[in-house]
Amino acid sequence: MSHWVFATNRHPGVSTGYANPNNPLSGVVRYNSSINAYEINDSSSWVSISTFTNVNTHPDLDENMKWVAEQRLNEQKIKNLAETHPAVRNAVKNLEKAREQLELIVTLSTDHTQ
């Protein structure tokens, strides 16, 4: 048994019988329970869809994700050092206070200019 997955320009949906399996539209996706796989019609035949799919992303995404990972590692390193080094712990506390002060100043400055 196949379940049909279709999409219009506004609403995706699932059909269990009224799509014509003998004359499907190109791009129609179905779940074929006989082989336990999703298939897509390429206008001439049904092709199994891999469980892995390539997705195109914005070119900056990889660079941004690398930056985030580096920041997380650096923050963890500082946190670990702060647990055993009083000077690092004090510097972290001072940095937190400075961030709070900066946020307050930015808020007050923004409110003042509007």
Q: What's the pLDDT tens digit per position in 8-41?
A: 433 344 444 445 666 667 777 888 888 888 888 8
pTM comes to: 0.44
In one-letter notation, the amino acid at residue 103 is E
Task: Give the whole-angstrom CA distance, residue 84 versus residue 1.
Answer: 63
Q: What are the extents of the domains in the chain? A: 2-48, 60-113
Q: In angstroms, rounded to a whole number, what is the distance separating the alpha carbons of residues 96 and 93?
A: 5
**In the prediction, which pLDDT does 15 show?**
44
Q: Read off the tokens for 111.
A: 């409110």
